[in-house]
Amino acid sequence: MYDELIKGRVYFGGADDAASAVHEKEVEKVIDLRVKGRTEKVDYSYIHKPIADESDEIPSSIQAGVTEVINAYQAGEKIYFHCGSGNGRASVMAVAALMELGAAGSLEEAENMVKEVHPSVNIRPNMREALEKLYK
């Protein structure tokens, strides 16, 4: 199951739900945040923008991913971004997207907004530290 971050425009969740989001919500761009992306061919617009595992690379990888999300959003596209389960990297990207769009005034507010639609948010300490570097 996937969740709606911004009504009618931005969705996020797990890898297995990408095709459903494309077909059910007419998503135009799928962004994969996993370190190891898909190897099989898919019938939708797919971009691999992994959020790194290495602490020193996490901030720049979040920035690269959120730039892709914001550019697609500003172009009027419907977007789905995902990690494996939707709880880790996808939740990190959801927080970053809300901050970049000015929909939240603080990281805490952004995380709470994400938790409202996706209660199983799990932002690991190294990812939280990267978000703080980017948005504090």
CA pair distance 53, 31, nearest whole angstrom? 17
Structural domain harbouring 50: 3-135
Q: What is the pLDDT of residues 82-98, one digit of tens each?
A: 999 999 999 999 999 99
Model confidence at 1, pLDDT cuts 50, 70, 90, reads confident
Measured in whole angstroms, the distance separating CA 47 from the mean position of its chain's CA atoms is 12
Ramachandran class of 6: left when φ > 0, alpha when ψ lies in -120 to 50, beta otherwise? beta
Q: What is the pLDDT of residues 60-76, one digit of tens each?
A: 999 999 999 999 999 99
Q: What is the pLDDT of residues 5-36, one digit of tens each?
A: 999 999 999 999 999 999 999 999 999 999 99
pTM (2 d.p.): 0.96
Report the domain count for the chain: 1
Q: What is the CATH number of the domain that holds 39?
A: 3.90.190.10
H-run or E-run covering 83? strand 79-83
The tokens describing 72, both together, are: 């697609």
Between these two residues, 59 and 136, which has the higher pLDDT value?
Answer: 59
The tokens describing 73, both together, are: 């959003």
